[in-house]
Structure 1
Amino acid sequence: MRIVDVIHRRVAIWGFGREGRAAIRALRQRCGEQHFTLFCSAAEVDAARAFDPALEVVAGEPDAVMLSRFDVVVKSPGISAYKPALLAAQAQGTQFTSGTALWFGEHALENRPEARMVAVTGTKGKSTTSALIAHLARSLGVRTALAGNIGLPLLELLDQQADLWVIELSSFQTGEAGPLELGVITSLYEEHLDWHGSRERYVVDKLKLADVSRRLLVNALQPALLERTQQHPQRLLFGQPDGWHVADGFIHRGTQEIFPIDRLTAPGLHNALNACAALAALEALGMDAPAAAPALASFRPLPHRLQPLGERDGWHWVNDSISTTPLATLAALESLHRRAVTVLVGGHDRGLDWTPFVEAMRRTPANAIVCMGANGARIEAALRSTGIHCPIARVDDLAGAVVEAKARTPRDGVILLSPGAPSFDQFKDYAERGRRFATLAGFEGASITGIEGLGIG
């Protein structure tokens, strides 16, 4: 669907976050004074009316009857496509689209054949890999756009031009993408079950990216991902010995040593693999990836992703608030191996399986584990049931977790926030949680700003 397709139709926007505001601006730009309805929370009504006085603003979540009054509803990504009210309205003929889908409608390859596009998804690693691709491409002098789920809605760049578009897509958005020159899948684990409804549906939705990608680059170290993508006619791999991979302290291209991993600014083996994905993506696009590799040393790590805050009161503090799965927490701990690490885990309970984390802690325990938030009690019970040989504590909130961590961490040890769960039980989002952690640790939390390199550069 293109924006022109909604002209003179009954249209609603569902959601008033950054994606919703971008959709309103784009629709106004192309559709003039057409009437639009906005569904938002009661707390957002005044701000929405100030943002666009011509909007009809409706407070609260719409039901099926309300949604079915519209020909088209432009929904924000966080609203599940499987909500009963949405499905019922869809069955009555209402079309549901999104800012992502509208942007692809405007920029589809058949409409703009000169626009090169690579989209990146994955349970973990998609933001860092997207930012790395953009950073490395720019080091080669390529005018590159970085947008999408990473923090800049595509519609905010509706009329902008770039030689290369690097687009991060969440599992909520992969089914909304149009034709792509290259799709990249960094990893595939269990996540977002509350949105998708089941693990299998999450996997199916995530892998919709393969359907629209002319070429598909996937992680060779994930057997399940390899199996699910084996039918793609132009599949490429990273992480295997004859391509871009990590071995003996270096990023390799086959047998050739390209870049020492101790010079990477983003720590951990998983980030070295993200760098391999980015280099392999550039190579798939016909660029000189080895020539771009030295720019890895100047890449600025993304905030809230294994972000070293520094030393305070004798402890080293690391903010990994973006960690929203237990496996992401394990990757964070692996990056800090051989150090005394107290890890803070827990948050909004999405029902994810913590067994891999528990088993890993049984084999190689952390210095201490502090469980917090809505699923803290469940995590604590799982840990204690296996007799893990490290101190385990449970507290209600992040402030209590920091106090507990200080009491249990030796001097020169690491206090790591890597919750393995979303923040919605106590915070607006992971960024707010990370800033609060930084403040509690004695740093200037407000100084942790957005991701560097968004937009066109």
Structure 2
Amino acid sequence: MSLIGSDRVRAVVGLGATGLSCVRFLASKGIEFYVVDSRDNPPGLEQAKEYCPEARIFAGDLNILETLGVTELFVSPGIPLSTPVLSRLAEQGVAMRGDIDLFCDYVDAPFVAITGSNAKSTVTTLVALLLQACGKKAKAGGNLGLPALDLLEANTDFYVLELSSFQLETTPALKADLACLLNVSEDHMDRYKDLYEYQRVKQRVYRGCKAAVCNKQDILTAPLLPEGVPVRAFTTKSPDLKEFGLLKDSEGSWLCRGVERLYHTSDIALKGAHNYANILASLAMLELLGVDVKSAGVAQVLKTFCGLPHRCQTVRVHDKVTYVNDSKGTNVGATLAALQGLGTSNRKNILLIAGGEGKGADFKALAKPVADFVRVVYLFGKDAARIADVVPKGTEVKLLESLDQIVSSVDQDGQEGDIVLFSPACASLDMYKNYEARGDHFAQLVNALLVNKL
């Protein structure tokens, strides 16, 4: 669909990586637009001036939009549609769109849309790698890596997009060739009034899709689709016919399709139930895309793919204590998955480090896995006290001022066979630029332990 039309007045609202990708793309199509940002000096401002006349760029106040006669806005994901000026313009009939909606106008190859509260980056990356290993030209991006519009290129076989709830808000009709909702748990409760409003936004990934994959163990991911749309489910329990799941026998645990054994878990680099769920979801998607899930290329990727940085990533084993960096655990659901994936029944050998900006989340769900698997909880950051309130009696809690202090304390407390899990269950912005900086700091502190003891 061409966007060129003299009756439309467009503006890109909010710069940064996504907004700038919209700027570049619209300019490449010869389409006129404004750029408006609430910040006086937003990231990407100088680059935007290379594509948009400076007289059409307004920084410092979004209310200028009401004077420009706009009919169509491309709103960056970080800006809520509830922002007063956007609400007023929407009531007047101004279209609220986003980069993914614009991507859908121009994409000419099949695309996979993946969302969820957790694991979407890992699964998006894995699906792209598996397709590539099977000889397909697949490109991954969206909320991960390159913005979706920067991926568009001739002769691409598949696009694999990670989508956030924020991106789905401005995508009314995605129409993905394959859509997957991995899981739903509380996140961004500072933006949504409750879990169910958040879930409704996540469910938008299924709108108009040609096929779907959902999580059998999470009813909130179940799609409501017309009869005839193929759906595959995955589970970490025994699968039914056509489902992907785990089976155990005298030889150990297997990733299966129905009763068909596909891969023994000993032949897979990723470990833990949460990671097996990610692989099973990926295999279900491959099947719906018509790719042989038992091919040599798939087997090789599963044998070598160790996951992404800051996602249950082993930093090192020091004094027979394993240090795991899960700084991407920015919500309660992520930390639950890490605890359940790494925890061992009847053995409280996890030392959990958590805390940060809780985004309005309810931490009560952490109580049971903490009681089951955790010996000591170390807390820091803005919402440390709120997390402490839900830690069950019998589990030691230490509230400290900094990650430096925590790693020092953990070094004194750790015993042979322990797992030190840095999975904050919170965002990082109260103390760090982003979760990557937070995770890097943890890794530096852990590596310094070894240096200091040499």
| Same fold (TM > 0.5) | yes
Query: Quick check: 2:199–2:220 contact (8 Å CA) kept in 1?
Result: no
Q: Structure 2: how far apart are the matches of 1:67 and 1:276?
A: 51
**Structure 1 counterpart of 2:202:** 206
Task: Return closer, same or farther for 1:300/1:202 CA change in 2, 3 Å cut-off.
Answer: same
SS in 1 for 2:307: coil
SS in 2 for 1:311: strand
TM superposition shift of 1:9: 4.3
Task: Return closer, same or farther for 1:250/1:211 CA change in 2, 3 Å cut-off.
Answer: same
**Structure 2 counterpart of 1:377:** 385
Q: Structure 2: how far apart are the matches of 1:193 and 1:37?
A: 29
TM superposition shift of 1:43: 4.4
**Structure 1 counterpart of 2:100:** 100
SS in 2 for 1:382: coil
The size of the alignment, in residue pairs, is 430
Correspondence list, 1:21-420, <5 A: 21-31=20-30, 34=32, 36-44=34-42, 48-49=45-46, 51-53=48-50, 54-55=53-54, 56-63=56-63, 66=66, 69-107=69-107, 112=108, 115-175=109-169, 176=171, 178-226=174-222, 229=224, 233-234=228-229, 235-239=231-235, 240-242=239-241, 243-248=243-248, 249-291=253-295, 292-295=297-300, 296-312=302-318, 315-338=321-344, 340-362=349-371, 364-383=372-391, 386-387=392-393, 389-411=394-416, 413-420=418-425
1:70-122 deviations in Å (ceiling 9; x for gaps): 33222111222233331112112332211111111112xxxx3xx22221111
Task: Return closer, same or farther for 1:293/1:375 CA change in 2, 3 Å cut-off.
Answer: same
TM superposition shift of 1:404: 3.1
Q: Structure 2: how far apart are the matches of 1:356 and 1:74?
A: 37
Q: Structure 2: how far apart are the matches of 1:39 and 1:261?
A: 49
Query: Quick check: 1:343–1:368 contact (8 Å CA) kept in 2?
Result: yes
Gaps of 5+ in 2: 450-454
% identical aligned pairs: 26
TM superposition shift of 1:141: 0.7
TM superposition shift of 1:263: 2.9
SS in 1 for 2:370: helix
**Structure 2 counterpart of 1:423:** 428
Query: Quick check: 2:114–2:180 contact (8 Å CA) kept in 1?
Result: yes
SS in 2 for 1:19: helix
Once the two structures are overlaid, the 10-residue window that deviates more, 151-160 or 279-288, is 151-160
Q: Structure 2: how far apart are the matches of 1:11 and 1:278?
A: 38
Q: Structure 2: how far apart are the matches of 1:170 and 1:84?
A: 22
TM superposition shift of 1:16: 2.1
Q: Structure 2: how far apart are the matches of 1:190 and 1:232?
A: 30
**Structure 2 counterpart of 1:454:** none
Query: Quick check: 1:22–1:156 contact (8 Å CA) kept in 2?
Result: yes
Query: Quick check: 1:117–1:181 contact (8 Å CA) kept in 2?
Result: yes
Q: Structure 1: how far apart are the matches of 2:58 and 2:212?
A: 42
Q: Structure 1: how far apart are the matches of 2:232 and 2:420?
A: 38
**Structure 1 counterpart of 2:452:** none
1:145-184 deviations in Å (ceiling 9; x for gaps): 1111122201112334311121111112235153222111
Query: Quick check: 2:316–2:322 contact (8 Å CA) kept in 1?
Result: yes
Task: Return closer, same or farther for 1:186/1:50 CA change in 2, 3 Å cut-off.
Answer: closer
